[in-house]
Structure 1
């Protein structure tokens, strides 16, 4: 395991890593930063492609992360830095003294579909239509993993999967779920060709309560943009439009809350 020490914020490696704090830099490099003991430990334990671990030389590496590093079976670089240098790579008010550079993980969409087609297996997929709030996206990913969902398709023009707020809200679930960034209409049509029923959340005329459809077989649940809901293009592809009844004065539910209700209804029915 390669070891290095850096004390200047002007070091070329630190400048390169600093660029990963914005989407353009992440897309150019194909990597992203995770910050904090828990997320770094989750990345190491999940087998994610961790390239570099950067830590505060005065604080050292947390024992939990150190234990994960000892058993990590891929080559990586350790860089000890000063508190000032680490602050250059941090987005939080109270940095925990450790950051890691991780390769953006990708699951092949066609291979994923083929696996289910060949096995004739059922699945529940979550499809997100232009979600904009990073906290919502991160919470949804975390909730989807907890509910045992089989995959998530994040549509174009959604908030970046590797935004720092998204990553922190996932609490490590991002390293364990199959995630796809795809044009949503095409993905919906491809799933439809596999016999997948598309449940679209909306207040569309004729929509039914979320617990009326039967969530068996192959199901795709579509959650729309926080402001305008599901786009008309996706709405037209729906097998069923569903809504969550509101019994108080609230006009709507937060996207992450609505998503959680839908996912756990699917889990409840499939469990029974």
Structure 2
């Protein structure tokens, strides 16, 4: 662990890291920022490729982050900086005093599925069809990890998984659960070719209640867009439609709430 000092927001490194607050910058550099002691600690402990840690020199570094840095297998650039620099790299109104630059990961979907099938025999996945709200996506990932879902596929057109609000809402789950961002229609075809089933959340007439559905074997649950639900293209891939009964006057459930109910019921039955 090496320690350096940066004093100016005009520093080239600070300017480059500031670009990671935009989706374009994250895609060009294939890196993203993590903010706050808890998330920085989680990134370090999970084995993520942490490149740089910048902390507020007036606050000193959080002890848990110091321990995680000491145990991190790779060298990490550690920099002390004033509050103005941390504010430049923060999306929150009150900067939390520490940020980390992390490399994106890019696992191969087909290889991952085949390996997991060989190891486990069965899989439970979440397919997310154009989820737009960062808070919803982050909460879904956090819930999926808590329920021990094997993996998540985020369809094209969804909010950027490395958006700061998404990362914060995951509370570290992003570093522990496999997430693949790709065409959901193509993924469904590949999944079905491997013997997988696709269960789509919908109030279709032939839909069964979530507590009556079969979640055994190779199962993927599809959660749709907050406004329009599941796309027509994905509807055509359904092996079964499932729904959560609405006993009150509400027309629908929040996407993250619905995902939580589905994954916990699925795991209850599978276990």
Task: Answer yes or no: same fold by TM over 0.5.
Answer: yes
User: For structure 1, which segment, 17-26 or 109-118, has the greater mean C-alpha deviation from structure 2 after superposition?
Assistant: 109-118
Aligned partner of 1:86 in structure 2 is 86
Query: 1:145 and 1:113 mapped to 2: Cα distance?
Result: 17
Query: 1:117 and 1:125 mapped to 2: Cα distance?
Result: 12
Aligned partner of 2:216 in structure 1 is 216
User: Is 2:153–2:184's contact at 8 Å kept on the other side of the alignment?
Assistant: yes
Aligned partner of 1:163 in structure 2 is 163
Q: Gapped runs of 5+ residues in structure 2? A: none
Residue 128 (structure 1) aligned with residue 128 (structure 2): yes
Look up the SS of the partner of 2:43 in the other structure.
helix
Query: 2:135 and 2:120 mapped to 1: Cα distance?
Result: 35
- Residue 117 (structure 1) shift: 4.1
Look up the SS of the partner of 1:192 in the other structure.
helix
Aligned partner of 2:19 in structure 1 is 19
- Residue 130 (structure 1) shift: 0.3
- Residue 203 (structure 1) shift: 1.6
- Residue 118 (structure 1) shift: 3.5
User: Is 1:106–1:179's contact at 8 Å kept on the other side of the alignment?
Assistant: no
Look up the SS of the partner of 1:152 in the other structure.
strand
- Tell me how many residue pairs correspond in the alignment: 271
Q: Gapped runs of 5+ residues in structure 1? A: none
User: Is 2:117–2:123's contact at 8 Å kept on the other side of the alignment?
Assistant: no
User: Is 1:117–1:194's contact at 8 Å kept on the other side of the alignment?
Assistant: no
Aligned partner of 1:61 in structure 2 is 61
Look up the SS of the partner of 1:55 in the other structure.
strand
Look up the SS of the partner of 1:206 in the other structure.
coil
User: For structure 1, which segment, 90-99 or 218-227, has the greater mean C-alpha deviation from structure 2 after superposition?
Assistant: 90-99
Q: Aligned ranges for residues 191-270 of structure 1 at < 5 Å?
A: 191-270=191-270
Q: Under a length normalisation based on structure 2, what TM-score does the superposition of the two structures give?
A: 0.98
Look up the SS of the partner of 2:26 in the other structure.
helix
1:149-190 per-position Cα deviation (integer Å, ceiling 9, x unaligned): 000000000000000110011000000011101100000010
Q: Under a length normalisation based on structure 1, what TM-score does the superposition of the two structures give?
A: 0.98
Moved over 2 A (4+): 116-120
Look up the SS of the partner of 2:192 in the other structure.
helix
Query: 2:54 and 2:105 mapped to 1: Cα distance?
Result: 20
- Residue 109 (structure 1) shift: 0.6
Superposition RMSD in Å: 1.0
Look up the SS of the partner of 2:16 in the other structure.
helix
